[in-house]
Amino acid sequence: MKRYLETGNFGVAQAAVMAGCRVFCGYPITPATEIAEAMSGLLPRVGGFYVQTEDETAAMHMAIGAALGGMKAMTATSGPGFILYADPYGWAIGCEIPLVVLNSQRVGPVSGITGAPGQGEFYLSRYVTQGGNFETIVLAPNSAQEAFFLTIEAFYLSERFRTPVTVLADQLITDGWEDLSIPETDEEKQAMGLRFAERKAHPGPQFYPPTDEIDIPPVVLGKDTGALCSDWTPTEEGYDIETVEAQHKHAYRLIYKIRNHRDLITRHESLFLDDDPKIIAVAFGTPSRVVKTAVKKARAQGKKIGMIRPISLWPFPDELFKRNATYLSVELNYDGQMVREIQRAAPRESSVHFFGKCGELPTVAELSQIFDDLLQGKPPRRRGWETEAW
Amino acid sequence: MDYLATEYLRSRKIPSTACSGCGLGQCHKALVKAIDGVGLTVSDIVWGTSIGCAGRQTFATWKGDSFAGTHGRVYAIARGLRLALPPEKRIVLTVGDGDAFGIGFNHLLHAVRTNAQMTIMVCDNLGYQSTGGQFGWTTPPGVVTDSSPYGMFEPNWVQPERDVLRILKEAGATFLARHVSMDGASLVESLTKALQNNGLSLVHVVYPCTTNFGKNALGTRKPVEIFNWIKRHAAPLGKEKEETIWRTGIYHDASNSRPEFSTLMRRKVDEIRGRYS
């Protein structure tokens, strides 16, 4: 095990190379640029390629091209680039191309604040392209160490599910300096729970079976399999077809290969849920660290407060919200995004509240105040321009 | 075509779903003839297409591995694919004029800049015909389309002072040619040379659309009249007349004069690897 004081960007690049990524295509953007820079240094030393592209659209398309040729590929960006991935992301979902996409969220809308953390792409990471009829896999780290772990996991899941996987980070994770352990031996990798999947190639001719099966090798071009892939609705062999029945079969596969195997994806962290806490604070990514501190502090004061941190965001872990409780969603946005999913997933008798900040983390004092208010049955206090509605 | 069709094309895609009288078949046939002439087999080529008439009608016609990319992005996909494919595999792309010279122009320029091996045939039916007949970036001046009801008055990409092939030459393309689909042997000859270049080759081929362009611009859907109109407005380079819109022939042949993108990348990666191993 090698220990570093390093950034999440460094951890992501190390993980990608360890997972077998040999092509990185990217367009510089704060706060994900350092991943590109790190890959430009690391990849040639292991026989891989770094390509700086003309724009984000090209970055993801080019990564898809490399993946289609049989290489493990990755791209990384921030919100303004991630929205440009909508076009190729759809292609990769439809053609079932394994790929890893990292989005380090900053403050929006649009270019917003480049050097501060945000969580404005919670929904965008779910509805990442046009047309619907798909599910996505999104993993959200809350530290440099977890960014390392989840990048490797993203490569693993992308191969098994034949789909692009998003690692949804934020500026504090990718830019922040932290203690980071990188395993060196197989034993260390195993002890850390790292999982790896080899790239395989589908032999054809049924490249797009209308089933929910996973572990089907992806389409790889150049292997003389007669492989076909396109952005149109495919027949099982990959031909372009315009029938509702074929679209139904394809959509079924894209949705249920993920939904029906969600146990392989779902992971979360929870705290103090054993004694039916009255309040459950929910957060993902960096703010979850402050929330954790605030919850621990409240517990030390004898207050029955628990916490859930979804690590896999999509498919949304509805099963974590079965308890009848008062939920508080703490997010780095002002509009409230995850809160709506909690509201949908929680029992009807539950009450669901939202506390949003953006560009800066909530403080333990702010959260403690909200916990006290909620314990007294009062909604969270709002600053002048805030409302509870979302 | 029988031998070529049996050898290179998927039987279930013949006949194609192109409109009656469409000139795309001429383009397609010329390219397959050139591939055969060069001695390439089905397994030597990965065939890519895009959206629109040219993309959709040529997708999955090739018997071997094929893909269709999103509109205009196929050059970026092909560059990525180029890195992953063995160097001896060839990439052939059949795309439309809107794809190459409009939505995909930036990606095309960067594919050209890096000289990534791909043989691109731009099948140009002079506008956006599969969406109903809007003007495009090579629609001739004055022509009426569904989106230029007062005649096409914007400058286009084939006028001598802004010929798109000159732009691509300056960007570093190593083989460039232009033809109309009735050119026959000379079109096959240009495509043959394009295939023999280990770099980016682009052959721009104008072909007739009987459904929309003919009807809107020429007031006829008769293939013969549209074919003749296109032929009348084409002339070999150096033999242009006043009515010439398309100057045909080989514009630029610097085949195999620059390192190919993936070859350069591999060489550099090997060098760096050697330095640090």
| Domain boundaries, position B227 | 18-275
**Which of B85, B117, B263 is most worth mutating to test chain A (most A CB atoms within 10 A of its CB)?**
B85
A contact residues 94-123, partner B, Cβ 8 Å cutoff: 95
Query: Is B232 domain-assigned?
Result: yes
Q: Considering only CB atoms, which chain A residues are within 8 Å of B276? A: 45
How many domains does chain B fold into? 1
Whole-number Cα distances in Å, A242 to A232, A238, B58, B269: 8, 12, 16, 44
Query: Is B4 domain-assigned?
Result: no
The percent of residues above 70 in pLDDT, for chain A, comes to 99
Q: What is the pLDDT of residue A265?
A: 98
- Write the residue in A63, A228, A229 that is nearest to B80 by C-beta: A63
Look at A54 and B110 and tell me if their CB atoms are within 8 Å.
yes
Contact A380, A370 (CB under 8 A): yes
**Domains of chain A as residue ranges with CATH:** 2-192 (3.40.50.970), 269-389 (3.40.50.920)
Could you report the per-residue pLDDT of B28-80, keeping only the tens digit for each? 999 999 999 999 999 999 999 999 999 999 999 999 999 999 999 999 999 99
Instruction: Show the CA angle centred on residue A301, arms to residues A296 and A306, nearest 5°.
Output: 40
Question: Measured between CB atoms, does A64 come within 8 Å of chain B?
Answer: yes
The nearest alpha carbon in chain A to B46 belongs to A222
Question: Measured between CB atoms, does A236 come within 8 Å of chain B?
Answer: no
The nearest alpha carbon in chain A to B106 belongs to A54
Q: What is the pLDDT of residue A390?
A: 64
Token look-up 């984000």 returns: A56
Q: What is the pLDDT of residue A379?
A: 87
Q: Is B249 exposed, middle or buried (0-12, 13-18, 19+ CB in 10 A)?
A: middle
The nearest alpha carbon in chain B to A225 belongs to B65
Look at A221 and B12 and tell me if their CB atoms are within 8 Å.
no
Three-state secondary structure of chain B: CHHHHHHHECHHHCCCCCCCCCCHHHHHHHHHHHHHHHCCCHHHEEEEECCHHHHHHHCCCECCCEEECCCCCHHHHHHHHHHHCCCCCEEEEEEEHHHHHHHCHHHHHHHHHHCCCEEEEEEECCCECCCCCECCCCCCCCCCECCECCCCCCCCCCCHHHCHHHHHHHHCCCEEEEEEHHHCHHHHHHHHHHHHCCCEEEEEEECCCCCCHHHHHHCCCCHHHHHHHHHHCEEECCCCCCCCCEEEEEEEECCCCCCCHHHHHHHHHHHHHHHHC
- Write the residue in B67, B81, B107 that is nearest to A66 by C-beta: B81
Q: What is the pLDDT of residue A196?
A: 98
- Cβ atoms < 10 Å from Cβ of B8: 22
Look at B85 and A232 and tell me if their CB atoms are within 8 Å.
no
Instruction: Give the burial string for B39-74 (b: 16+ CB within 10 Å, else e).
Output: eeebebbbbbbbbbbbbbbbbbbbbbbbbbbbbbbb
Contact B43, B77 (CB under 8 A): no
Q: Considering only CB atoms, which chain B residues are within 8 Å of A234? A: none
Q: What is the pLDDT of residue A380?
A: 86
The nearest alpha carbon in chain B to A59 belongs to B76
Look at A63 and B78 and tell me if their CB atoms are within 8 Å.
no
Cα distance from N-terminal residue to C-terminal residue, chain B: 53
| Dist CA B203 CA B219 (whole Å) | 28
Report strand pairing: B90-96 vs B45-49.
Answer: parallel
At B177, the pLDDT band (50, 70, 90 cuts) reads: very high
Q: What is the pLDDT of residue B1?
A: 55
Q: Considering only CB atoms, which chain B residues are within 8 Å of A222? A: 46, 65, 81, 84-86, 89
Look at B66 and A58 and tell me if their CB atoms are within 8 Å.
no
Contact B74, B28 (CB under 8 A): no
Query: Is B13 domain-assigned?
Result: no
Q: What is the pLDDT of residue A381?
A: 83
Residues of chain A scoring pLDDT < 70? 387-390
Q: What is the pLDDT of residue A21?
A: 98
Q: Considering only CB atoms, which chain A residues are within 8 Å of B273? A: 44-47
- CATH number where B139 lies: 3.40.50.970
The whole-angstrom distance between A384's CA and the closest CA on chain B is 46
Predicted complex ipTM: 0.97
Query: Is B30 domain-assigned?
Result: yes
The nearest alpha carbon in chain B to A90 belongs to B70
Instruction: Show the CA angle centred on residue A112, arms to residues A106 and A114, nearest 5°.
Output: 50
Report strand pairing: A137-139 vs A228-229.
Answer: unpaired
Could you report the per-residue pLDDT of A352-382, keeping only the tens digit for each? 999 999 999 999 999 999 999 999 999 888 8
Q: Considering only CB atoms, which chain A residues are within 8 Å of B76? A: 53-54, 57-58, 61-62, 65
DSSP states along A352-380: EEEEE--SSPPPHHHHHHHHHHHHTTPPP
A contact residues 262-291, partner B, Cβ 8 Å cutoff: none
Residues 6+ apart with CB under 8 A from B143: B126, B135, B151, B152, B216, B217
The whole-angstrom distance between A13's CA and the closest CA on chain B is 18
Look at B66 and A228 and tell me if their CB atoms are within 8 Å.
yes
Could you report the per-residue pLDDT of B241-263, keeping only the tens digit for each? 999 999 999 999 999 999 999 99
- Write the residue in B43, B73, B85 that is nearest to A87 by C-beta: B73
Contact A58, A77 (CB under 8 A): no
Look at B67 and A221 and tell me if their CB atoms are within 8 Å.
yes
The pTM of the full predicted model, rounded to 2 decimals, is 0.97
